[in-house]
Structure 1
Amino acid sequence: MKKLFKYLYKRTKVGHIVIQQFINLHNFYLNRVMSEKAFAKRGFRKSFNREVDLENPKTLNEKIVWLKLNDRTPVHTICSDKYAVRDYIEKRIGEEYLVPLYFQSKDPNDIAPENMPNHPFIIKTNHDSGGGIMVRDKSSIDWKQVQKGLRKRLKKNYYYSSKEWQYKNIEPRIIVEKLLLDQNGDPAKDYKMHCFNGEVIMLQVDIGRFSGNHCRNFYNKEWQRQPYRWPSPKENGKLTNPSDYDVEKPQNLQKMISLSESLAKDFSYVRIDWYDVNGKLYFGEITFHTDGGNRPILPAEWDRKLGDMLILPNHPSKN
């Protein structure tokens, strides 16, 4: 039956129209009607083929789901806003760690070559999750298409597709920042500090983020390779599995850890992202619920081991 619907949807005009209506209704129910708790339980079930235990969460993913539903403050929204977080970072650790901001606007029509710098930059929206538009040469860009895409993104409230509360009340805008490149002209490596109760526990390194060879390695604070993986799907359908080689220890590792722990002290679980560009450290972003708690950590025993290290706030089990 599934193959028949797929055939009708892709190969016949009437089938496509009719089935698309059912898809639209289904998505409306998921995004606008279904409760946050039911939505979270559904997502976990699809990923793990079992029910999430919210009464006594044990694995790291279960605890992330619990936090997604129960741990909410205005600061979560500020830190999830890629524009508002700049002021937060400046006050907490200093403006020297901010990626240079070239332009910001709420109007996609403002994103035009005359308002853009003459060196590489990246265009982002502040209110959703995902990458931006990397521009190395603004004369080679179809600006009408860029504006069209941004117009579409600004109209979307990311909360309704993720049901992550912190995104719900972010005022959408466009930001243009310096494109951080390494000495080879490639996008700088992305270092992600997973902090549990104010301490860096997992160090994630993303390599080749904008290529088909995107890999993801995990280390501890001593820069020792860890025996687990926590992959996400890439655009080509493959996963961000570990590389077959080690990444050189970043020059600013200890500083990165210290600053991350300073920023993380107010949160149970948080991921602080950094770029180390030729010895200069830049803040990337703050994430509270990595992959929504819906991506398996493998081997599965490590989901539980890491979960044991995270203590939830105001939870009866306190584990």
Structure 2
Amino acid sequence: MSTDLRKKGFRKKVSDIYKSDLGYYAVRPVYKVYEFILKMIPSDVLVKNSFKKHMGYSLDLKNPKTLNEKINWLKVYNRKDIHTIIADKYKVREYIKEKIGEEYLIPLLFHTKNPEDIRPENLPDVDHIIKCNHDSSGGVVVKDKSTIDWKKTRKRFKRLLKQNHYYATREWQYKNIEPRIVVEKLLTTEDGNLPDDYKIHCFNGKVQFFGVDVDRHLPTRGRNLYDTNWNLLPCNWGRPNGRDLPRPKNLEEMIALAEKLAKDFIYLRVDFYSVKGKTYFGELTLHQSSGFRKFWQQECDEKFGQKLNIEHLINSRLTKS
């Protein structure tokens, strides 16, 4: 077994222990001490250490070259109030409404700051997903309310609402989000599965490539990278390729919408779903995998890094210092 697989197995065991009641209350005090220590560490120091651990080489914040290095430079030094709004899965809805139109939003069915409100009588009878607005923990899919352990679900969200994603990753946009639980209609394909997730990577306001998580509901989940003409790229970013996907009929629409949303950002990942011929907005991401996801081919990280222009920001920062 590879070292990476052993590490993943160990992390899963720790995660499973932490999710249990006994594990949570035993580990929580230790985690709070750990979080306190994290707060004392300067962002550039913490990010450099995390980068070396995940990527295997040192992060050069003075002269970043690869895409992952530049994402981390932006994470440490490029912070604006608008970043907090677009990272908030609740507040971003108003932003999307203003920028491209309400018709692209997944219907919002319920929202609350109180996990005790997450009860079957408060939620709709249509298929839906329950998630937080301030993190990347995924969500609880509800297709049949009678199959859900609601007490356990409320406990899960009570814990999630206490977490702050910023301190471990230094993704500043998460620091000041007011935690909330949101319930959205569950999008499904004609066969009842979750739709493909089109992650559109925009550099300096222009679409550079698509990342598509293929068959997200299956153990054989893959990730394909496509250029704007829907040619499969010889690059793997964290996952093997899945089955090749047909060119989406709304490709041009997704590109136009993504560039409309990305025009004010240096790097932005814009996510869309295509369901039964209609385009739905997913989320906006400022730092793909926090800048810690390896390309299997180093040349891809370097090639995409050359296309992302942040030199003017670096020079401006050097001039001010």
Q: TM-score range by the shorter chain?
A: 0.7 to 0.9
Give yes or no for the alignment of 1:191 onto 2:190: no
Overall identity of the aligned pairs, in %: 47
Aligned counterpart for 2:50 among listed residues 43, 55, 76? 43
SS at match of 2:313: coil
Partner of 1:208: 215
> Partners in 2 of 1:161 and 1:214 — Cα distance?
27
Aligned pair partner of 1:74 in 76, 81, 87: 81
Counterpart position of 2:62: 55
Deviations 1:119-161 (A, max 9, x none): 1100010011131111111121111110000000001111122
Residue 281 (structure 1) shift? 0.5
- One-letter code aligned to 1:34: I
Query: RMSD of aligned C-alpha atoms?
Result: 2.2
Structure-2 separation of matches of 1:228 and 1:286 = 22
2:295 equivalent to 1:288: no
- Normalization by structure 2: what TM-score? 0.87
Distance 1:175 1:49 in 2: 37
> Which residue number in structure 1 is paired with residue 315 of structure 2?
316
Shift of 1:316: 2.2
Residue 177, structure 1, aligned to residue 184, structure 2: yes
Q: Which runs of 5+ in 1 are unaligned?
A: 1-5, 11-15, 232-239
| Number of residue equivalences | 294
Partner residue of 2:261 out of 255, 258, 263: 263
Aligned counterparts, 1:127-276, within 5 A: 127-231=134-238, 240-243=239-242, 245-276=243-274
- 1:155 alignment partner, SS class: coil
Query: Which is worse superposed, 157-166 or 51-60?
Result: 157-166
* 1:27 CA displacement: 2.9
Q: Which residue identity lines up with residue 302 of structure 2 in the other structure?
A: R
What whole-Å deviation, never above 9, does each CA across 1:72-99 have from its counterpart, x for those lacking one?
A: 1111000000000000000000000000
Residue of structure 2 aligned with 1:113, choices 96, 107, 120: 120
Q: Secondary structure, in 3 states, of the residue corresponding to 1:96?
A: helix
Counterpart amino acid of residue 274 in structure 2: D
Cα distance 1:300–1:116, how it changes in 2: closer, same or farther (>3 A)?
A: same
- Conserved 8 A contact 1:56-1:317: no
- Residue aligned with 1:133, SS: strand
- Post-superposition offset of 1:48: 2.2
Contact 1:30/1:39 (<8 A) preserved = no
Give distance in 1, aligned partners of 2:57 and 2:298: 13
Q: CA deviation at 1:212?
A: 1.8
- Aligned residue for 1:104? 111
Deviations 1:197-246 (A, max 9, x none): 01100101112224322210000000000001101xxxxxxxx3211x31
CA distance in 2, matches of 1:310, 1:152: 37
Query: Structure 1 stretch 209-218 or stretch 72-81: which is displaced more?
Result: 209-218
Question: Which SS does the other structure have where 1:315 is aligned?
Answer: helix
Q: Aligned with 1:316: secondary structure?
A: helix
> Are 1:28 and 2:35 counterparts?
yes
State the partner residue of 1:3. Answer: none
SS in structure 1 opposite 2:314?
A: coil
1:47 positional shift:
1.7
* Range with greater deviation from structure 2 (183-192 or 294-303): 294-303
For 1:59 and 1:224, the matched residues in 2 are separated by 22
Q: Which has the higher helix share?
A: 2
C-alpha distance in structure 2 between counterparts of 1:287 and 1:114, whole Å: 33
SS at match of 2:315: coil
Farther-moved stretch of structure 1 (25-34 vs 254-263):
25-34
